[in-house]
Amino acid sequence: MDKLCISGGRPLLGKINIGGMKNAALPIIFATILVNDVCVLENLPDVSDIKTALEIVRRMGAEIEQIDNFTYRIDTRPVHSNSVPLDLAKNMRGSYYVLGAELGRFGRSYTSLPGGCNLGARPIDQHIKGFEALGATVTCIDDGISCIAENKLEGAPVYMDVASVGATVNIMIAAATANGMTVIDNAAREPHIVDLANFLNSCGANISGAGTEVIKIRGVDKLYGGTYAIIPDMIEAGTYMIAAAATKGDLIVNNVIPRHLEATTRKLVEMGVEVEEGDDYVRVRSDGNLKKARVKTDFYPGFPTDMNPQFCVLLCLAEGESKITESVMDSRFKYTDELVRMGAKITVTGRDAKIEGIDAFRPANVRAVDLRAGAAMVIAALSANGTTVIDDIYHIERGYEDMVGKLRSVGADIKKISDKLS
Ligand code: EPU
């Protein structure tokens, strides 16, 4: 098992470049199955979840050529139906996007029930509701889920009881080549939903309203391949913004869409952190005097649940009592036990965390309990005087591209060690 070894207490200074957004890239990679042609995807993040997604599509029959670190040519014409490699799919939540893609292309799909970060119950009832509205029969068999449409999918109105990212993605993909019009009401509004719609439209789909709560998808007969660049990762960017603030740094977070970072920026400013917005960068500076704050996670454009753990680290370093309320995921606070090992004073009651400010974290041996929790441990370690070792970093590598290299380039003392060497 690899670990991260971080000797903290140094401010992050300089410029960090942000990669493509994992949660936009995943649906787009699986949507290429529906496109049934050659797609060139640029700005794919170099992270393990993306490699797994590409491997799943490759094992389904696609021909994939890597053009450079971030660009892949994917020919999905040879993909055959009912070919999802279940051993790989079960470990990655985003793999359930094969359902929408295969259903749209072949009228049937079978895959394993989704894995991913353990953030509490993560039901897929809204995906099922959408597929059924389009005319598919959905059944759960063993550890898998089967969707079968006897006839071509028919567009339909779908009201989502929860503005789920995953369900909005799956329904959009399945509906893109259905007969007639699908209207998704109470759709997710996240930037990755807009990116998927832009990708599908660039392939000839007819989707409007993405980014609002009503998305209209007029089915088309055929899609065509092309070249598409994934948007920058707002969660990677937000993570480094917080790391800058926690280390009293001065960091330019480059290649971002500042609008996507608004919720994080607003909270940082409220806490006394200086944030300057450029066209495609934000500059974050802090003198370490941090004010307490209350944060409530919400669907976009609210404060992202994927920034809950990282922001909690900053709130620990603020004066007075802060609070985070988690309103998206059932169980997001498992990471707090690890922060407590580093001296944090956090009390969790249900979906609320009460955070009492401390002067500094103390170094410790801790674990990344999930992807964003891992990022939070890195930030806490960067701010602590002394050496922290973080275990189970495979979680971090699922979603952060070259975190060690990027942090080293702005002054962090961080290295990856493997058990054999330690
Ligand atoms: N929900 C339902 N029924 C459904 C689907 C979702 O009740 O059919 C509930 C979930 O239980 C949850 C809430 O709706 O409480 C939000 O779930 P959503 O479907 O929006 O999340 P997701 O698609 O499973 C994606 C990201 C997560 C991110 C969430 C929220 C991917 C692959 N994953 O998950 O990313 O936390 O949206 O923004 O896009 C991460 O990157 O670290 C990560 C966990």
pLDDT value for 77: 98
Catalogue all structural domains in the chain, each as residue range(s) with its CATH number: 2-18+232-418 (3.65.10.10), 22-224 (3.65.10.10)
Among the residue ranges 115-119, 212-216, 270-274, 284-288, the one predicted with the least confidence is 115-119
Contact indicator for 288, 358 with CB cutoff of 8 Å: no
93 lines ligand 1 (CB under 6 A): yes
In terms of DSSP bridges, do strands 250-254 and 13-17 run parallel, antiparallel, or are they unpaired?
parallel
Report CA(166)–ligand 1 centroid distance (Å): 6
Q: What is the CA radius of gyration of the chain?
A: 21
Report CA(274)–ligand 1 centroid distance (Å): 31
Q: HEC profile for 235-290?
A: HHHHHHHHHHHHCCCEEEEECCCHHHHHHHHHHHHHCCCEEEECCCEEEEECCCCC
Per-residue pLDDT band for 152 (boundaries 50, 70, 90) equals very high
- Mean pLDDT, rounded, for 374-392: 98
Report CA(360)–ligand 1 centroid distance (Å): 33
CA distances from 293 to 288, 371, 388 (A): 15, 24, 27
Phi and psi angles of residue 278, each rounded to the nearest 5 degrees, phi first = -105, -170
Catalytic one of 117, 203, 312, 316: 117
pLDDT value for 118: 61
**DSSP secondary structure letter of residue 84:** -
248 lines ligand 1 (CB under 6 A): no
The answer, yes or no, to whether residue 420 has pLDDT greater than 90, is no
Percent residues over pLDDT 70 in the chain: 98
- Mean pLDDT, rounded, for 269-282: 98
Tell me the pLDDT tens digit for each residue of 84-135: 999 999 888 889 999 999 999 999 999 998 765 565 567 899 999 999 999 9
Phi and psi angles of residue 297, each rounded to the nearest 5 degrees, phi first = -75, 155
| Ligand 1 pocket mutation, candidates 92, 164, 168, 306, criterion most atoms within 8 A of CB | 164
Nearest protein CA to atom 26 of ligand 1, as residue: 23
Per-residue pLDDT band for 194 (boundaries 50, 70, 90) equals very high
Among the residue ranges 141-145, 168-172, 279-283, the one predicted with the least confidence is 141-145
Would residue 117 show up in a list of annotated catalytic residues for this protein? Answer: yes
In terms of DSSP bridges, do strands 38-42 and 13-17 run parallel, antiparallel, or are they unpaired?
unpaired
25 lines ligand 1 (CB under 6 A): no
Residue 164 CA: which ligand 1 atom is closest?
20
Residue 117 CA: which ligand 1 atom is closest?
44
pLDDT value for 121: 63
Q: Which residue has the tokens 């040879």?
A: 78
Minimal CA–CA distance to 165: which of 250, 84, 94, 228? Answer: 94
**DSSP secondary structure letter of residue 335:** G
371 lines ligand 1 (CB under 6 A): yes
Minimal CA–CA distance to 173: which of 99, 69, 85, 250? Answer: 99
- Mean pLDDT, rounded, for 137-156: 92
Q: How far apart are the first and last CA of the chain?
A: 10
Q: Which residue has the higher pLDDT, 1 or 162?
A: 162
Chain centre distance of CA 62: 24
Per-residue pLDDT band for 282 (boundaries 50, 70, 90) equals very high
pLDDT value for 422: 43
Residue 196 tokens, joined: 């998927």
Contact indicator for 80, 122 with CB cutoff of 8 Å: no
Tell me the pLDDT tens digit for each residue of 52-76: 999 999 999 999 999 999 999 999 9
Cα 29 from Cα 39, distance rounded (Å): 9
Report CA(198)–ligand 1 centroid distance (Å): 21
Report CA(299)–ligand 1 centroid distance (Å): 10
Tell me the pLDDT tens digit for each residue of 293-343: 999 999 999 999 999 999 999 999 999 999 999 999 988 999 999 999 999
Percent residues over pLDDT 90 in the chain: 92
